[in-house]
Chain A
Amino acid sequence: MTRTIITIIALLAVAALFWTLVALGTPDELGAVSRHYVERGIIENRGANLVTSVVVNYRGLDTLGEVTVLFLSVTGAAFVLRRRERKPVDRAASKASEIVQTGAGVLVAPIMLFGAYIFLHGHLTPGGGFQGGAVVASGVLLLLLADRERALPHGLMSWLESLSGFAFVVAGLAGLWVAGSFLANRGVLPLGEWNQLLSAGVIPVIYILIGLKVGSELAALLDVMMRGEAVAGAHGSPRSPRHRRSGPSGTGRSRGGRR
């Protein structure tokens, strides 16, 4: 009973907050900062997508923080889900139907290509690194659904993720060295023409790195949550040798996720 009363009080407080926000109203014109980003976005960045130039260039430090938070949460999840004892896996339940297996074999390559297209064209069309990385992780999820015993190359994924994050910071430092501020876009790479693929300076490079990083991170997270340990293919009963591909680096990952 007390809990219900407290819940109702909390909901009334949120409703009062809503009333204040609606009374302030939504603005009719762009603010001063938004007007600067909109009017001079193409002159300074040459990218057609203004949201991309805001996310990667004008608010690039927030994106670096976001990539760090995602990395920490995936590492924390992999660390907590380590399993010390091996529960026996249900053989009959881990066999997918024929439709899923055939469909996965046909569809994975177009899905990965689509994800790569999305993060390559982030500065021209709606899209970018996070969306493309999520699509690539969905392709890996389809592979995992088709065959639960598949060994993902955890060593390669861990290296890809770490190197992409490192290269993002290196791109920012290159901006610091050339133009005087971290993640600047002014002198590192040529700006090019508006609405071309090779344009917008260092923005497509950063988005490619973010796409690779987010894709491998989310794929590793899905693998860890579905399997329970980061060592791929290491179940209780002996398996055929082709499932033991990622031995040493996988063990390194399951011992606390140190990189």
Chain B
Amino acid sequence: MIWLDGLVCLLMVIVAVTATVVRNLVSAVIMVGVVSLLVSYLFLRMGAPDVAMTEAAIGAALTTVIFLVALRRTGEGR
């Protein structure tokens, strides 16, 4: 199933590059959360379910929330 992994890797890199160039900061933060989620799937495919759970719980959920709270506190979250 390596073509599926290759597709997910390509999608992940495209989303990361889009997060760099997009104007709206809230969109950029959500895209970094999507990158974390796709990386969590790749960890699962590598045979690391512990790491996949940690990345999904901490990287995709808590880091996105912390970024959004910081956006709100500096007035950029529209």
Contacts and interface: CB of A to CB of B under 8 A. Distances in A.
Whether the complex brings A and B within 8 Å at their CB atoms is answered: yes
A115 B46 CA distance: 24
A138 B50 contact: no
Given A49-B50, A127-B50, A134 B66 contact: no
B50 A222 contact: no
A45 interface: no
A111 to B, nearest CB: 11
Interface in B31-78: 48-50, 52-54, 57-58, 61-62, 65-66, 69-70, 73
Interface residues of A, number: 20
A29 to B, nearest CB: 15
Contact of A222 (B52, B57, B66): B66
Contact of A126 (B50, B62, B65, B66): B50
A127 B66 contact: no
A156 B65 CA distance: 24
A130 interface: yes
A128 B50 CA distance: 8
B50 A134 contact: no
B49 A134 contact: no
B69 A126 contact: no
B65 A134 contact: no
Nearest to A218: B62
Interface in A107-142: 118, 126-128, 130-131, 134-135, 137-138, 141
Contacts of B57: 131, 134-135, 138
Interface string A12-56: 000000000000000000000000000000000000010110000
Nearest to A227: B69
10 contacts: A52-B50, A126-B49, A128-B50, A130-B58, A134-B57, A134-B58, A138-B62, A141-B65, A222-B65, A222-B66
Given A138-B61, A141-B62, 4 more contacts: A131-B53, A131-B58, A134-B57, A226-B69
